[in-house]
A and B are shown apart, each in its own frame.
Chain A
Protein backbone atom coordinates (compact mmCIF):
# COMPACT_ATOMS: atom_id res chain seq x y z
CA UNK A 1 0.00 0.00 0.00
CA UNK A 2 2.82 2.39 0.92
CA UNK A 3 4.56 1.56 -2.38
CA UNK A 4 1.40 2.46 -4.28
CA UNK A 5 1.15 5.80 -2.50
CA UNK A 6 4.80 6.57 -3.34
CA UNK A 7 4.16 5.67 -7.01
CA UNK A 8 1.08 7.93 -7.17
CA UNK A 9 2.91 10.79 -5.45
CA UNK A 10 5.72 10.47 -7.96
CA UNK A 11 3.31 10.43 -10.90
CA UNK A 12 1.48 13.52 -9.64
CA UNK A 13 4.82 15.34 -9.20
CA UNK A 14 5.70 14.45 -12.81
CA UNK A 15 2.32 15.77 -13.99
CA UNK A 16 3.04 19.11 -12.29
CA UNK A 17 6.60 19.24 -13.58
CA UNK A 18 5.89 18.71 -17.29
CA UNK A 19 3.83 21.87 -18.00
CA UNK A 20 6.35 23.93 -16.03
CA UNK A 21 9.16 22.69 -18.25
CA UNK A 22 7.12 23.24 -21.41
CA UNK A 23 6.45 26.94 -20.74
CA UNK A 24 7.83 29.17 -23.44
CA UNK A 25 9.08 32.74 -23.06
CA UNK A 26 5.98 34.35 -24.58
CA UNK A 27 3.07 33.00 -22.58
CA UNK A 28 -0.33 33.02 -24.29
CA UNK A 29 -3.50 34.18 -22.57
CA UNK A 30 -4.34 31.79 -19.75
CA UNK A 31 -7.58 29.85 -20.12
CA UNK A 32 -8.73 30.04 -16.52
CA UNK A 33 -12.08 28.37 -17.23
CA UNK A 34 -10.33 25.21 -18.43
CA UNK A 35 -7.93 25.22 -15.48
CA UNK A 36 -10.65 25.73 -12.88
CA UNK A 37 -12.80 23.12 -14.64
CA UNK A 38 -9.98 20.60 -14.28
CA UNK A 39 -9.63 21.39 -10.59
CA UNK A 40 -13.42 21.24 -10.13
CA UNK A 41 -13.59 17.80 -11.74
CA UNK A 42 -10.66 16.59 -9.65
CA UNK A 43 -12.22 17.83 -6.42
CA UNK A 44 -15.64 16.42 -7.33
CA UNK A 45 -14.17 13.02 -8.20
CA UNK A 46 -12.11 12.91 -5.02
CA UNK A 47 -15.02 13.85 -2.78
CA UNK A 48 -17.36 11.43 -4.56
CA UNK A 49 -14.80 8.65 -4.16
CA UNK A 50 -14.46 9.46 -0.49
CA UNK A 51 -18.23 9.52 -0.03
CA UNK A 52 -18.65 6.20 -1.85
CA UNK A 53 -15.91 4.65 0.26
CA UNK A 54 -17.54 5.84 3.48
CA UNK A 55 -20.99 4.66 2.40
CA UNK A 56 -19.66 1.24 1.39
CA UNK A 57 -17.66 0.89 4.60
CA UNK A 58 -20.68 1.77 6.73
CA UNK A 59 -22.89 -0.66 4.78
CA UNK A 60 -20.30 -3.45 5.06
CA UNK A 61 -20.03 -2.89 8.78
CA UNK A 62 -23.80 -2.91 9.15
CA UNK A 63 -24.12 -6.11 7.10
CA UNK A 64 -21.41 -7.84 9.10
CA UNK A 65 -23.06 -6.88 12.40
CA UNK A 66 -26.61 -7.71 11.33
CA UNK A 67 -26.89 -9.95 8.23
CA UNK A 68 -30.67 -10.11 8.66
CA UNK A 69 -30.91 -6.43 7.74
CA UNK A 70 -29.39 -7.14 4.32
CA UNK A 71 -32.34 -6.11 2.06
CA UNK A 72 -32.70 -2.66 3.62
CA UNK A 73 -28.97 -1.95 3.78
CA UNK A 74 -28.44 -3.17 0.21
CA UNK A 75 -31.23 -0.97 -1.16
CA UNK A 76 -29.94 2.08 0.71
CA UNK A 77 -26.38 1.40 -0.49
CA UNK A 78 -27.38 1.03 -4.15
CA UNK A 79 -29.44 4.23 -4.09
CA UNK A 80 -26.73 6.07 -2.17
CA UNK A 81 -23.98 5.03 -4.58
CA UNK A 82 -26.10 5.98 -7.61
CA UNK A 83 -26.84 9.41 -6.16
CA UNK A 84 -23.20 10.00 -5.15
CA UNK A 85 -22.08 9.09 -8.68
CA UNK A 86 -24.57 11.56 -10.10
CA UNK A 87 -22.85 14.37 -8.17
CA UNK A 88 -19.68 13.83 -10.20
CA UNK A 89 -21.85 13.82 -13.33
CA UNK A 90 -23.32 17.22 -12.39
CA UNK A 91 -19.80 18.64 -12.31
CA UNK A 92 -19.02 17.02 -15.65
CA UNK A 93 -22.13 18.57 -17.21
CA UNK A 94 -21.24 22.02 -15.88
CA UNK A 95 -17.72 21.63 -17.28
CA UNK A 96 -19.06 20.60 -20.70
CA UNK A 97 -21.44 23.56 -20.63
CA UNK A 98 -18.69 26.04 -19.70
CA UNK A 99 -15.67 24.75 -21.63
CA UNK A 100 -16.29 24.88 -25.36
Chain B
Protein backbone atom coordinates (compact mmCIF):
# COMPACT_ATOMS: atom_id res chain seq x y z
CA UNK B 1 0.00 0.00 0.00
CA UNK B 2 2.78 2.34 1.00
CA UNK B 3 4.70 1.47 -2.15
CA UNK B 4 1.66 2.30 -4.25
CA UNK B 5 1.29 5.70 -2.58
CA UNK B 6 4.97 6.41 -3.07
CA UNK B 7 4.73 5.49 -6.76
CA UNK B 8 1.71 7.78 -7.16
CA UNK B 9 3.58 10.60 -5.45
CA UNK B 10 6.63 10.06 -7.65
CA UNK B 11 4.45 10.13 -10.77
CA UNK B 12 2.84 13.36 -9.58
CA UNK B 13 6.24 15.00 -8.96
CA UNK B 14 7.49 13.81 -12.35
CA UNK B 15 4.41 15.26 -14.07
CA UNK B 16 4.88 18.60 -12.26
CA UNK B 17 8.55 18.67 -13.28
CA UNK B 18 7.62 17.95 -16.89
CA UNK B 19 5.03 20.75 -16.82
CA UNK B 20 7.60 23.19 -15.36
CA UNK B 21 10.15 22.19 -18.00
CA UNK B 22 7.53 22.66 -20.69
CA UNK B 23 6.67 26.14 -19.38
CA UNK B 24 10.37 27.05 -19.19
CA UNK B 25 11.05 25.86 -22.73
CA UNK B 26 7.99 27.76 -23.96
CA UNK B 27 9.23 30.94 -22.23
CA UNK B 28 12.72 30.53 -23.69
CA UNK B 29 11.25 29.84 -27.15
CA UNK B 30 9.18 33.03 -27.01
CA UNK B 31 12.19 34.97 -25.70
CA UNK B 32 14.30 33.71 -28.60
CA UNK B 33 11.53 34.55 -31.05
CA UNK B 34 11.04 38.12 -29.82
CA UNK B 35 14.79 38.81 -29.55
CA UNK B 36 15.09 38.22 -33.29
CA UNK B 37 12.57 40.98 -34.09
CA UNK B 38 15.16 43.60 -35.06
CA UNK B 39 16.93 41.26 -37.46
CA UNK B 40 13.60 40.31 -39.03
CA UNK B 41 12.74 43.99 -39.44
CA UNK B 42 16.09 44.56 -41.17
CA UNK B 43 15.45 41.70 -43.58
CA UNK B 44 11.87 42.91 -44.18
CA UNK B 45 13.22 46.35 -45.04
CA UNK B 46 15.54 44.91 -47.67
CA UNK B 47 12.85 42.67 -49.17
CA UNK B 48 10.25 45.46 -49.21
CA UNK B 49 12.78 47.86 -50.77
CA UNK B 50 13.58 45.46 -53.60
CA UNK B 51 9.91 44.70 -54.29
CA UNK B 52 8.86 48.36 -54.19
CA UNK B 53 11.77 49.39 -56.40
CA UNK B 54 10.70 46.85 -59.01
CA UNK B 55 7.11 48.12 -58.81
CA UNK B 56 8.28 51.75 -59.03
CA UNK B 57 10.50 50.93 -62.04
CA UNK B 58 7.57 49.36 -63.89
CA UNK B 59 5.01 52.01 -62.91
CA UNK B 60 6.82 55.35 -62.66
CA UNK B 61 10.19 54.93 -64.40
CA UNK B 62 13.76 55.29 -63.23
CA UNK B 63 13.52 58.76 -61.62
CA UNK B 64 11.15 57.52 -58.95
CA UNK B 65 13.12 54.27 -58.58
CA UNK B 66 16.39 56.10 -57.93
CA UNK B 67 14.63 58.38 -55.43
CA UNK B 68 13.14 55.39 -53.66
CA UNK B 69 16.49 53.60 -53.60
CA UNK B 70 18.18 56.62 -52.01
CA UNK B 71 15.33 57.06 -49.53
CA UNK B 72 15.41 53.37 -48.64
CA UNK B 73 19.19 53.44 -48.13
CA UNK B 74 18.93 56.53 -45.93
CA UNK B 75 16.15 55.01 -43.82
CA UNK B 76 18.07 51.72 -43.51
CA UNK B 77 21.19 53.57 -42.32
CA UNK B 78 19.03 55.69 -40.05
CA UNK B 79 17.51 52.58 -38.45
CA UNK B 80 20.93 50.95 -38.06
CA UNK B 81 22.42 54.04 -36.42
CA UNK B 82 19.38 54.39 -34.18
CA UNK B 83 19.98 50.83 -33.00
CA UNK B 84 23.64 51.59 -32.33
CA UNK B 85 22.82 54.78 -30.45
CA UNK B 86 20.28 52.98 -28.26
CA UNK B 87 22.85 50.19 -27.67
CA UNK B 88 25.45 52.75 -26.60
CA UNK B 89 22.98 54.44 -24.29
CA UNK B 90 21.94 51.12 -22.75
CA UNK B 91 25.64 50.21 -22.28
CA UNK B 92 26.18 53.40 -20.34
CA UNK B 93 23.09 52.96 -18.19
CA UNK B 94 23.66 49.30 -17.34
CA UNK B 95 27.39 49.99 -16.83
CA UNK B 96 28.67 47.18 -18.97
CA UNK B 97 32.35 46.98 -19.90
CA UNK B 98 31.92 48.54 -23.34
CA UNK B 99 31.21 52.21 -22.62
CA UNK B 100 30.97 55.07 -25.06
CA UNK B 101 31.31 58.72 -24.17
CA UNK B 102 28.13 60.76 -23.84
CA UNK B 103 29.26 63.13 -26.55
CA UNK B 104 29.79 60.28 -29.02
CA UNK B 105 26.25 59.03 -28.42
CA UNK B 106 24.69 62.49 -28.72
CA UNK B 107 26.76 63.42 -31.78
CA UNK B 108 25.83 60.21 -33.55
CA UNK B 109 22.15 60.86 -32.78
CA UNK B 110 22.34 64.38 -34.25
CA UNK B 111 24.53 63.33 -37.18
CA UNK B 112 21.73 61.07 -38.43
CA UNK B 113 19.40 64.02 -38.96
CA UNK B 114 22.16 66.08 -40.54
CA UNK B 115 22.96 63.32 -43.05
CA UNK B 116 19.30 62.78 -43.92
CA UNK B 117 18.87 66.52 -44.47
CA UNK B 118 21.98 66.73 -46.67
CA UNK B 119 20.94 63.77 -48.84
CA UNK B 120 17.38 65.09 -49.20
CA UNK B 121 18.73 68.51 -50.17
CA UNK B 122 21.07 66.93 -52.74
CA UNK B 123 18.18 64.95 -54.24
CA UNK B 124 16.02 68.09 -54.46
CA UNK B 125 18.82 69.93 -56.23
CA UNK B 126 19.83 67.13 -58.61
CA UNK B 127 16.49 65.56 -59.48
CA UNK B 128 13.27 67.08 -58.08
CA UNK B 129 11.27 64.34 -59.83
CA UNK B 130 12.80 61.78 -57.46
CA UNK B 131 11.62 63.63 -54.36
CA UNK B 132 8.40 61.64 -53.95
CA UNK B 133 10.35 58.41 -54.32
CA UNK B 134 12.74 59.61 -51.62
CA UNK B 135 9.88 60.46 -49.28
CA UNK B 136 8.30 57.05 -49.91
CA UNK B 137 11.64 55.37 -49.23
CA UNK B 138 11.89 57.10 -45.86
CA UNK B 139 8.79 55.19 -44.74
CA UNK B 140 10.46 51.81 -45.24
CA UNK B 141 11.04 51.16 -41.50
CA UNK B 142 7.36 51.83 -40.76
CA UNK B 143 6.30 49.31 -43.39
CA UNK B 144 8.83 46.77 -42.06
CA UNK B 145 7.61 47.29 -38.48
CA UNK B 146 4.02 46.81 -39.65
CA UNK B 147 5.06 43.55 -41.37
CA UNK B 148 6.80 42.39 -38.19
CA UNK B 149 3.73 43.23 -36.10
CA UNK B 150 1.56 41.19 -38.46
CA UNK B 151 4.01 38.28 -38.35
CA UNK B 152 4.15 38.34 -34.55
CA UNK B 153 0.35 38.34 -34.30
CA UNK B 154 0.23 35.38 -36.70
CA UNK B 155 2.86 33.45 -34.72
CA UNK B 156 1.13 34.26 -31.42
CA UNK B 157 -2.17 32.94 -32.74
CA UNK B 158 -0.77 29.95 -34.66
CA UNK B 159 1.86 28.71 -32.20
CA UNK B 160 0.69 30.33 -28.97
CA UNK B 161 4.04 31.98 -28.20
Q: Is B94 a contact partner of A83 (Cβ separation < 8 A)?
A: no
Which residues of A lie under 8 Å from residue B90 when comparing CB positions?
Answer: 63, 70, 73-74
In Å, the complex CA distance between A71 and B86 comes to 11
Interface size on B, residues (CB 8 A): 23
Given contacts A71-B35, A81-B86, 7 further A-B contacts (CB under 8 A): A60-B89, A67-B94, A73-B90, A75-B37, A79-B145, A82-B82, A96-B131
Answer whether residue A36 sits at the interface, using C-beta atoms and an 8 A cutoff: no
Instruction: Please classify the interface of chain A as helix (H, G, I), strand (E, B), loop, or mixed, using the class held by over half of its residues.
Output: helix
**Which 3 interchain pairs have the tightest Cβ spacing?**
A67-B94, A63-B93, A86-B142
Which of A64, A72, A81, A82 is the one whose CB lies under 8 Å from B93?
A: A64
Which residues of B lie under 8 Å from residue A92 when comparing CB positions?
Answer: 135
In Å, the complex CA distance between A78 and B78 comes to 11
Answer whether residue A43 sits at the interface, using C-beta atoms and an 8 A cutoff: no
Contact indicator per residue, chain B 80-124, by CB within 8 Å of chain A (1) or not (0): 001100110110011000000000000000000000000000000
